[in-house]
Chain A
């Protein structure tokens, strides 16, 4: 359902219908009425004129950055604008290594300006505020811009209600005091500081139910925090509460690491469904047990970024409020001008950086084809490649490499061509860095 043209709520009494932009000051030259300022969203964004069909990409994460670059590779005539509210990029992949002090901050932070400069698109540091799909207009806090094609790659947000947190006071306390650490930025800086300051007791980590971002992430984090405690001689214990009945990925590898490397420092509790959290008393509860913690990074259930739902683009059947899109070509159902890529997708693919990077390349081709009046030929599976570092010294990792297939009979997606290397090694540890550096090169250079 398209939004009606946006009404401006800032028209003050007496002003003309067309608002005057900044022409008058308060208490101006004798005229009785104040001309209303246009405000933030109801003015055109100050951008160079489009030099070709304009594609707006909302979200500068792994999907958005890759999309912005590859749209131009597919069609150099595309005028691409990348909209991102953060001023700099911080990588969630490899961030666990940074938490444990195994890489410096420069490894995981990058400049959007470099990405835009090197790949010939415009970077608009702004926040999306609204969308009108009838007029093909995106409203932002830096004004509005019109699109020929729109790609929404807004990523995830957290769903605290799903772990029994109904109270806005408690939710805010969790977001600020015990951030999950899966939307990089201040969350990760806070967690790192918590680790450095940690004295003793339980450091709580959680694994959500559902298709959460980065399946191995919480397990890798548990390993590396445990490694950090051991290395720094901190008498703390990592307690990992898992809503799932067992480790969700690289199962043998993580169990082996938990057993042989972190036996006295890490306790893994599967089938722990969190039904209540008290961030003030610092207690997490299931129906059967209460656990007090000294500090924590509490990862609740994942949902698509709220803008998907608030723009009316969510699938009502999606428990994670993910977008209602064509599952093969990612366009909003019925609207081949608007696409959703990355973790806001409803398909059961791994919500991870490599997946988003490979998906964006595929959908960039789809958009270029449709812009040229052609239909894409057939569905291409995204590619999930994922390394998990289970040991900090020496750095040892395990990996998985997988594609997906669509089963016509069950009408469902499943894993395909899965390669799992669960024996940890320093070789895979080294390959982890090269994997990440290659992808940063792809997105930023």
Chain B
């Protein structure tokens, strides 16, 4: 039976929507989705653990994304090496970043059974990447830098991970996903994985855009196995 991610979230979330002044216009076509926990309560940015891979779905129910509260923004990455238009991190210290969790090489992504692409903290390095603080994909060895706009640091991926634009409300400490920066062919992904995504997320739902909130949870609560490489 497909797991429904939004159990009774509606009533709870409605009471906690941000006040009108905090809202801004996101890019057209993408939903503004408040990040909520499994009880439907808005996630507090300050409560996010550093160096943990979180997962949420955006802009479609079937398209997973990573959220990471990085330990620090690397000063070494110069503007010239950052992907165009990367908005940077948000939240306390500007350290919360989010990216599409679908490898730009050949579309490996986390499923309920297994995650072969995820973030490796600095003290738990990826063997393949020979370093931590990166997102590594175990399928063909692509490595991305979440502190530098998701750019490719190694491997065959032809493009950076698309950045998910987040808004942080300083007053309420809430986080909202508002857009996607960087080209990604969602239509192709949704077509190629139609069968699997339908089973996991629902026949029509997998390719529907999320509404005004989306659930955030730690990756190891979402998937049965996190593969390390």
- Identify A427's interface contact among B106, B156, B227, CB under 8 A: B227
How far, in whole Å, are A442 and B158 apart by their CA atoms in the complex?
Answer: 13
How far, in whole Å, are A403 and B60 apart by their CA atoms in the complex?
Answer: 37
Contact A441 B229, CB 8 Å, known A385-B141, A427-B138: no
- With a CB–CB cut-off of 8 A, which chain B residues contact A419? 128, 141
- B106 touching A442, Cβ below 8 Å: yes
- With a CB–CB cut-off of 8 A, which chain A residues contact B225? 430
What is the chain B residue whose CB lies nearest that of A423? B127
- A439 touching B106, Cβ below 8 Å: yes
What is the chain A residue whose CB lies nearest that of B191? A445
B116 CB-CB contact with A under 8 Å: yes
A206 CB-CB contact with B under 8 Å: no
A residues 415-445 in Cβ contact with B at 8 Å: 419, 421, 427-428, 430-431, 434-435, 438-439, 441-442, 445
Question: What 1/0 flags go to A349-360 for Cβ under 8 Å of B?
Answer: 000001000100
How far, in whole Å, are A412 and B141 apart by their CA atoms in the complex?
Answer: 26
- With a CB–CB cut-off of 8 A, which chain A residues contact B141? 385, 401, 419
- With a CB–CB cut-off of 8 A, which chain B residues contact A428? 229
- B116 touching A430, Cβ below 8 Å: yes
Q: A368 to nearest B CB, angstroms? A: 15
B198 CB-CB contact with A under 8 Å: no
- A431 touching B156, Cβ below 8 Å: no
- A435 touching B227, Cβ below 8 Å: no
A383 CB-CB contact with B under 8 Å: yes
Q: A335 to nearest B CB, angstroms? A: 29
- With a CB–CB cut-off of 8 A, which chain A residues contact B228? 427
What is the chain B residue whose CB lies nearest that of A427? B227
Q: A389 to nearest B CB, angstroms? A: 15
What is the chain B residue whose CB lies nearest that of A354? B140
Q: B117 to nearest A CB, angstroms? A: 9
Question: What 1/0 flags go to B202-229 for Cβ under 8 Å of A?
Answer: 0000000000000000000000010111
- B128 touching A401, Cβ below 8 Å: yes
B residues 111-164 in Cβ contact with A at 8 Å: 114, 116, 127-128, 138-141, 156
What is the chain A residue whose CB lies nearest that of B141? A401
What is the chain B residue whose CB lies nearest that of A439? B106
How far, in whole Å, are A84 and B18 apart by their CA atoms in the complex?
Answer: 60
- Identify B114's interface contact among A358, A430, A445, CB under 8 A: A430
- With a CB–CB cut-off of 8 A, which chain B residues contact A445? 188, 191-192
- Identify A431's interface contact among B139, B188, B192, CB under 8 A: B139
- With a CB–CB cut-off of 8 A, which chain B residues contact A358? 156
- B156 touching A438, Cβ below 8 Å: no
- A441 touching B107, Cβ below 8 Å: yes
Sorted from nearest, which 3 A-B pairs have the closest CB atoms?
A: A438-B106, A434-B139, A431-B138
Measured CB to CB, the residues of A under 8 A from B are 354, 358, 383, 385, 401, 419, 421, 427-428, 430-431, 434-435, 438-439, 441-442, 445
Measured CB to CB, the residues of B under 8 A from A are 105-108, 114, 116, 127-128, 138-141, 156, 188, 191-192, 225, 227-229
Task: Given A421-B229, A430-B116, A434-B138, output 4 extra A-B contacts at Cβ < 8 Å.
Answer: A385-B156, A401-B128, A419-B128, A430-B114
Can you report 9 A-B residue pairs in the complex whose CB atoms are below 8 A from each other?
A: A354-B140, A385-B156, A421-B127, A430-B116, A431-B116, A434-B108, A435-B139, A439-B106, A442-B106
